[in-house]
Copies of this chain bind each other. A is one copy, B any other.
Amino acid sequence: MRPSGRQTNEMRPVTIETGVTMHAEGSCLIKCGNTHVLCTATVDEKLPPFMKNSGLGWVTAEYGMLPRATNTRMRREAKNGQSGRTQEIQRLIGRSLRAGVDRVALGERQIVVDCDVIQADGGTRCASITGGWVALKLAVQKLMKAGVVISDPLVDPVAAISCGIYAGQEVLDLDYPEDSEAGVDGNFVMTGGKLIEVQMSAEGSVFSRAQMDGLLNLAEKGVSELKAAQMAAVN
C-alpha cells in the first residue's frame, strides 16, 4: 500500500495556473500534489557568448528551492552557493526543454526558464520540467503574437515524471515519503511519445531489465496525463 492510498499507477492531482507573475513573459504555478513550483520564462534578445552568430536560439534553466520548501529548513543557497544536486537538476531541466525546441525557428534569442520550488513533496525536478515547458510556451506565444517569431518552435509538450520501486512494487509519481524509502527510482522525460532523458538510479540496490520496462510503462501513462494538463493550460 502506498502511504497516500493511491493506486500504483495513479498520479497525484495536477493543476497548472498560468499568468501568475506580472513581469515574466511566461509564467505558471504547477502543483503536483503538495509539490508546488513557480516557473517563469524570460526572453533575452542577447544570446550567451558561446552561441553568438550561430543562427540558433538557446533555452536554459535555473532551479532553486526556498529554504523552508522542505520539512526541515535547508541552508539558503545564496549564502553557500549552489549544491551539486541543484546544478545537476538545472542542467537536466535545460537539456530536456531544449530537446523539444526547434532552435532555428526560435531565432537568435535566449529564453531563461526559472523554476523555484515553493513547497516540496517529491518530484520537484519533474514538476519543474513540466511547468517550465508551459512557461516557455507562453513566452513563445507572446513572441509569435508580436511577430518576431513566425513558425512555432514548440510543437509537442515536454513533460517529466518519476517512477520507482517502493515496497517491492513499481509505482508512478513518487511523493516524498515514497521517494525517501525507494531503493530504485527514476525520472523520465518525454515528448511526442519518444524519450528525451532516462535517469534511473539505485541507492544501495539493483534492478532488472523487466523492472525497468515496468517503470517505462508507468512513465508513458503519466506523461500522457501531464500532456493533457499542459495543453489545457496553454490554450
The chain A residues found within 8 Å of chain B, CB to CB, are 21-24, 27, 34, 38, 40, 42, 44, 62, 64, 66-71, 73, 76-79, 81-82, 84-88, 90-91, 95, 98-99, 103, 112, 114, 116, 118-119, 121, 186, 191-192, 194-209, 212, 216
Contact = CB atoms under 8 A, between A and B. Distances in A.
B114 A67 contact: yes
Q: How many chain copies does the complex carry?
A: 6
A40 B68 contact: yes
10 contacts: A40-B68, A64-B76, A66-B116, A77-B77, A84-B88, A85-B91, A95-B201, A194-B206, A194-B207, A198-B200
Nearest to A188: B200
B42 A73 contact: yes
A88 B88 contact: yes
Given A66-B116, A76-B62, A208-B194, A202 B99 contact: yes
Contacts of A78: 64, 76-78, 81-82, 86
